[in-house]
Amino acid sequence: MQTNSLRNKIILIGFMGTGKSAVADGLASVLELHKHDVDVAIVKHAGQPISDIFAQSGEETFRNIETEVLQELLYSPEASIIATGGGAVLKQVNRDTMLEHGLVIHLIASADVIISRVKHDTGRPLLQGDVTERVHQLMSARAGAYDFAHYSIDTSNLSLPEVVSQIVELWHQANLK
Ligand code: S3P
């Protein structure tokens, strides 16, 4: 992988409920880097919860804020861990900028694992209604959308520390800083 001073981030992508935020916390603590959660930054930027942004302004507005916030984090000079939202991969500009600025890791979990994690959650507007049906629909609509990552890790049979240590190993191998 080519060394470039700007490629100093670990960027986690993956479907909702694949553990991006928890893994980002683990990485931040082991590597002693700041962690940024794009969803949290969007809520701060918009001054309202994600479900309200979707309800009042629509998904397109949410996606535009998501791109703005993500680009700002990616162009920041500090080395960091960035947990993205599950739909951040849908725009080409986001995919290109993620690849330019760091090591992109795709976290995978089975539909059953995802459903068990998100079924009681009310903060994800795209999963309202029949959660099982929505997860299956969205997973098939997004098939292949995460394949641009440098690496994919199936977390289904791994503990959180195992996922974190695999990524730490990949980060050291990539030697991007
Ligand atoms: C979304 C995923 C969510 C959040 C928003 C839309 C998506 O983030 O950005 O509800 O389109 O997959 P998480 O993946 O952190 O749940």
Q: How far apart are CA 141 and CA 150, in angstroms?
A: 21
Domain boundaries, the chain: 3-176
The CATH superfamily of 3-176 is P-loop containing nucleotide triphosphate hydrolases (3.40.50.300)
Distance from residue 16's CA to the centre of ligand 1 (Å): 6
The residue-averaged pLDDT of 113-126 equals 91
Can you tell me which atom of ligand 1 is nearest the CA of 123?
A: 10
Question: Which DSSP helix (H) or strand (E) runs through 41?
Answer: helix 38-46
Distance from residue 15's CA to the centre of ligand 1 (Å): 8
Which parts of 84-156 fold into alpha helices (H)? 92-101, 111-118, 131-141
Can you tell me which atom of ligand 1 is nearest the CA of 39?
A: 9
Kindly state if the Cβ of 87 falls inside 6 Å of ligand 1: yes
The residue-averaged pLDDT of 126-149 equals 96
Query: pLDDT at position 177, please?
Result: 58
Among candidates 160, 158, 117, 157, which has minimal Cα distance to 26?
160
Local confidence band at 1 (pLDDT 50, 70, 90 cut-offs): very low
Distance from residue 111's CA to the centre of ligand 1 (Å): 15
**What residue's CA is closest to ligand 1, atom 8?**
85
Can you tell me which atom of ligand 1 is nearest the CA of 14?
A: 14
Residue 86, classed as helix, strand or coil, is: coil
pLDDT digits (tens, 9 = 90+) for 17-69: 999 999 999 999 999 999 999 999 999 999 999 999 999 999 999 999 999 99
164 close to 81: Cβ distance less than 8 angstroms: no
Kindly state if the Cβ of 19 falls inside 6 Å of ligand 1: no
Distance from residue 88's CA to the centre of ligand 1 (Å): 8
